[in-house]
């Protein structure tokens, strides 16, 4: 297991520019960017700070994650950020959520190793992205894509938005 | 990395995954496709792009009555050792014999 990273490093990591090689084509985002509201930084920064301070006792991690996943209707734990996903699977889920015009929060698991490890246990799911709707684990990329195609995702989101 | 995998030296990851999934799920069909080449050079697999990404299609009677999330967890659970030893991501299609129409 990786030891909890020093909090200063973890926080700096959240704001670090991505390596050039990992940046998606700018063209891909030229359409998506203008319609995206700037993400409110509050959730991201607060939770990352709290998680970095948690230093891995599973109990504290669980409570923290309980709060994080229910702080918003739709929370996506992903690699990279909405505008610069670092992985094709995370990118796919971002695109799906954008196409459905639902507000969603994202957290970058690459910026915080404690968060990344903690979530694997919390969700009983070893990979990312992980999508939470209404505080419930919905699925990874495959399930989200399948549910999007079948309409089940839209249904679940509508229910969540009305609740 | 250590474990009871006495044959891991000679078997590829794909072959080990096949064994584990086939026997535990009593799969009536099992496709395992290595798509690591599609992810070579991506942030998490800089050094070793061998057998890191797979597409898995599995048809199993054990998926009957299970949600998709549960089915995927069943597959993930069986592949824990692999996920802890360099397997980075798998794309899963998990169906029951009835759903697959076979």
Which has the higher per-residue pLDDT, B38 or A148?
A: A148
Q: How many domains would you assign to chain A? A: 1
User: Angle at CA A47, nearest 5°, toward A106 and A61?
Assistant: 110
B37 touches chain A (CB under 8 A): no
**A143: containing domain:** 40-162
In a domain, B4, yes or no: no
> Please, what is the average pLDDT of chain A?
78
In a domain, B52, yes or no: yes
What backbone phi and psi angles, to 5 degrees, belong to A65? -70, -35
In a domain, B3, yes or no: no
In a domain, B48, yes or no: yes
Q: Residue B76 sits in a domain of what CATH number? A: 3.30.300.90
User: Angle at CA B13, nearest 5°, toward B76 and B29?
Assistant: 65
In tens, the pLDDT along A30-88 reads 444 444 455 555 555 555 555 544 444 556 899 999 999 999 999 999 999 999 999 99
Closest chain B CA to residue A143: B68
B69 touches chain A (CB under 8 A): yes
- Maximum distance among all alpha carbons in chain B? 42
d(CA A116, CA A123): 11
Chain A nearest CA to B79, separation (Å): 10
d(CA A113, CA A109): 7
Q: Residue A53 sits in a domain of what CATH number? A: 3.40.30.10
**Burial level of B17, CB count in 10 A (0-12/13-18/19+)?**
buried
- Which of A29-38, A79-88, A103-112, A131-140 is least confident? A29-38
Q: Positive or negative, the Cα torsion across B65, A146, B33, B86?
A: negative
In a domain, B85, yes or no: yes
Contact call for A143 and B43, based on CB within 8 A: no
**Burial level of B34, CB count in 10 A (0-12/13-18/19+)?**
middle
Chain A nearest CA to B87, separation (Å): 10
Closest chain B CA to residue A86: B43
Which one of A16, A88, A126, A144 would you mutate to disrupt binding with B, by most B Cβ within 10 Å of its Cβ?
A126
What angle in degrees, to the nearest 10, is found between the helix axes of A113-123 and A58-70?
80
Share of chain A above pLDDT 70, in %: 64
In a domain, A93, yes or no: yes
Tokens linked to B8: 């891991």
* Average pLDDT rounded to a whole number, residues A133-151: 97
Q: What is the pLDDT of residue A41?
A: 52
Q: How many domains would you assign to chain B? A: 1
Whether residue A75 contacts residue A104, with contact meaning beta carbons closer than 8 Å, is answered with yes
Residue in A87, A124, A139 closest to B42 by CB: A87
User: What are the start-end ranges of the E strands in B13-77?
Assistant: 29-34, 53-59
In a domain, B69, yes or no: yes
Q: What is the pLDDT of residue A163?
A: 82
Q: At residue A115, does pLDDT exceed 70?
A: yes
**B58: containing domain:** 13-100
The pTM of this model reads: 0.73
What angle in degrees, to the nearest 10, is found between the helix axes of A141-150 and A88-99?
30
């Amino acid at each position: 297991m990786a030891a909890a990273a020093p909090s200063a490093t973890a926080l700096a990591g959240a704001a670090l520019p991505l390596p050039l090689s990992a940046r998606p084509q700018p063209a891909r985002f030229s359409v998506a960017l203008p319609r995206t509201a700037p993400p409110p930084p509050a959730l991201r920064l607060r939770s990352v700070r709290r998680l970095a301070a948690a230093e891995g006792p599973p109990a504290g991690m669980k409570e923290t994650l309980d709060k994080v996943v229910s702080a918003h209707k739709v929370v996506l734990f992903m690699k990279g950020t909405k505008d610069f996903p670092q992985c094709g699977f995370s990118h796919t889920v971002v695109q799906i959520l954008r196409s459905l015009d639902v507000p969603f929060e994202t957290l970058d698991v690459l910026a915080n190793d404690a968060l990344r490890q903690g979530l694997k246990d919390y969700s009983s799911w070893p990979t990312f992205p992980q999508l939470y709707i209404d505080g419930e684990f919905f699925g990874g990329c495959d399930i989200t894509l399948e549910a999007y195609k079948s309409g089940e995702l839209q249904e679940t989101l509508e229910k969540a938005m009305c609740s | 990395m250590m474990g009871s995998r006495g044959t891991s030296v000679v078997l590829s990851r794909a072959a080990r995954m096949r064994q584990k999934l086939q026997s535990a799920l009593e799969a009536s069909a099992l496709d395992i496709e290595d798509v690591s080449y599609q992810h070579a050079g991506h942030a998490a697999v800089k050094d070793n792009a061998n057998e890191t990404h797979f597409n898995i299609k599995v048809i199993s009677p054990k998926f009957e009555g299970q949600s998709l999330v549960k089915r995927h967890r069943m597959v993930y659970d069986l592949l824990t050792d692999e996920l802890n030893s360099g397997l980075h991501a798998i794309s899963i299609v998990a169906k029951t014999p009835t759903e697959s129409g076979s």
